[in-house]
Chains A and B, each alone.
Chain A
Amino acid sequence: MEKRVLILGGGDGGTILANRLARRLGPDELSIEVIDKEGTHWYQPGFLFSAVGEAEREEISLCRVALYKENVKFTQAEVTKIDLDDRKVSLKDGSERSYDYLVIATGSTLYYDDIPGFKGGADHFWSFGASMRLRKKLMSIKSGRVLVGVGGLTYKCPVAPLEMVFLADELFRRRGVRDSIELVYLSPMGRAYGPHLLNKLVEEEMAKRGIELVTYFTVDEIDGKNRKVMSAEGDSLDYDILILSPPHRGSEVIINSGIGDDEGWVPVDKHFLTVKGYDDAFAIGDATALPIPKTGVVAHFQAATLANNIAADIRGGIKETFDGQSFCLIEMGESRASAQVSNYRYNIPPGLIPNWLFHAMKMAFTKMYWKYILTGLM
């Protein structure tokens, strides 16, 4: 009898997993269903570029139904409840699904309320809509103070605020307004970025470009009316544009189903990705509570491991472990990028000197993403 895998969330993790499984197993061995509430798939790193006018909607989005191999069923619906004990999932229209394997790949949601005043006071680029609103402001500002930095402390793509400050610098120079704009980076710790070697590069680059660094500034509250941002350390700064990482939490359904921690992240085994206490339920990607960066690369590597392990379970074979692999290209403007590689054991990333080759890789990746990554080929 065929087994049934139910994949909740058709973002990076869920889509890669579904297509990888469909390549390895026939429909007589495994039926695969992906459920996602959204019909459009976004290449999210593209939001950084759409905000500065370097990417358009059609380059970074695709209709989800076009993404799946033919033996994957895609259902557009919101999952409202996950019952791990009864192996049952409920959808908003009242229907239910059962499963042999469940994969939670519901990613993260933006939870503005964690910073009072964020909504209305700050801009961001963690969604397409927000990035286009920000684009308007970045393209029209002529003078003033632009603050970029870390707002919500848990957010996807840890380097994104840094990339933004470099791209904004480049954009203002191109527009000929850089001299009349004060560009400032806000960090909650004593340096711009956590890992020391990379931080050295980043801070040198900031100094070179005249980007001011403000440390120990933990964004606590925003007064959008008076354009003022307050820190938990008791400082405050005025701004004309405020660009911050929004606070993130796990998907609402995780919290409502009582399977996550207090912010809705799902605790999993760090190597086999099983939800703690279950052997037929897994979580991958941003949804997990693992202490590693929330990135598409992690979701991708986890999906590859899990596809192998589900196939091994059905056909027999050797199971793999996920070892925390992460890889990140850090855009630094002027057609140069640095890179960061780490896993659970090697977690002190080197400071790779920014160069055009990494930048070219980052640009090429957008094309590879649709053709090779999401389709499960790579």
Chain B
Amino acid sequence: MTDVTPTISIDARGISCPGPLTNLIKAYRKAKNGDVIEVLATDPGFKSDVKAWVERTGNELISLTEEGGVIRALIKVTAR
């Protein structure tokens, strides 16, 4: 586990594709470098979506974990 505290939290549990990613992108538009965005999601496709998004946009994926069906992504904003 990591001890980074998120500065922005998004609860996208129960929301289906592309909801979790859209909510992340929305938060990203308002974020600044240094912010840490936490996304909680249950949509299984979110894992690959968030990986691809982070890679493409050049931000940093601090961690991507899954526990009890809940996916948690921690993203450090570095490319704004």
A218, B25: Cβ atoms under 8 Å? yes
Residues of A within 8 A of B80 (CB): 232
A348 to B45, CA, bound (A): 10
Q: Please, what's the 1-or-0 string for A216-232, where 1 marks a CB less than 8 Å from any CB in chain B?
A: 10101000000000001
Q: Which of the four size classes fits the interface of chain B?
A: 20 to 34
Chain A interface residue count, CB cutoff 8 Å, equals 20
A133 to B14, CA, bound (A): 39
- Please, which residue of chain A has its CB at the minimum distance from the CB of B52? A190
Residues of A within 8 A of B19 (CB): 291
Chain A interfacial positions (CB closer than 8 Å to B): 153-154, 188-190, 193-196, 215-216, 218, 220, 232-234, 291, 342, 347-348
A-B pairs with beta carbons under 8 A, tally? 55
Residues of B within 8 A of A154 (CB): 22, 26
A189, B29: Cβ atoms under 8 Å? no
Residue of A195, A196, A215, A218 near B28 (CB, 8 A) is A218
- Please, which residue of chain B has its CB at the minimum distance from the CB of A293? B19
B45, A196: Cβ atoms under 8 Å? yes
A216-B53 contact, Cβ under 8 Å, with A232-B28, A232-B29 = yes
Q: By CB atoms of chain A within 10 A, which of B16, B45, B53 has the most?
A: B16
Give min CB distance, B50 to chain A, whole Å.
10
| 5 residue pairs A–B, Cβ–Cβ below 8 Å | A153-B29, A233-B58, A234-B79, A342-B16, A347-B17
User: From residue 1 to 30 of chain B, which have CB atoms closer than 8 A to chain A?
Assistant: 12, 14-19, 21-22, 25-26, 28-29
Give min CB distance, B6 to chain A, whole Å.
17
Main secondary structure on B side of the interface with A: helix
Residues of B within 8 A of A233 (CB): 56-58, 79
B66 at the interface (CB under 8 A from A): no
- Please, which residue of chain B has its CB at the minimum distance from the CB of A218? B25
- Please, which residue of chain B has its CB at the minimum distance from the CB of A291? B15
- Please, which residue of chain B has its CB at the minimum distance from the CB of A220? B29
A12 to B71, CA, bound (A): 36
B29, A195: Cβ atoms under 8 Å? no
A57 to B15, CA, bound (A): 37
A153, B14: Cβ atoms under 8 Å? no
Residues of B within 8 A of A291 (CB): 12, 14-16, 19
Residues of A within 8 A of B26 (CB): 153-154
A348-B16 contact, Cβ under 8 Å, with A188-B22, A189-B21 = yes
Residue of A189, A193, A195 near B25 (CB, 8 A) is A189
Residues of B within 8 A of A215 (CB): 56
Known: A194-B18, A196-B45, A233-B56. 15 other contacts (CB 8 A): A188-B25, A189-B18, A189-B21, A189-B25, A190-B56, A193-B18, A194-B21, A195-B17, A196-B17, A216-B53, A232-B80, A233-B58, A291-B12, A342-B16, A348-B17
A336 to B22, CA, bound (A): 28
A188 to B26, CA, bound (A): 10
Residue of A190, A196, A347 near B53 (CB, 8 A) is A190
Residues of B within 8 A of A189 (CB): 18, 21-22, 25, 49, 53
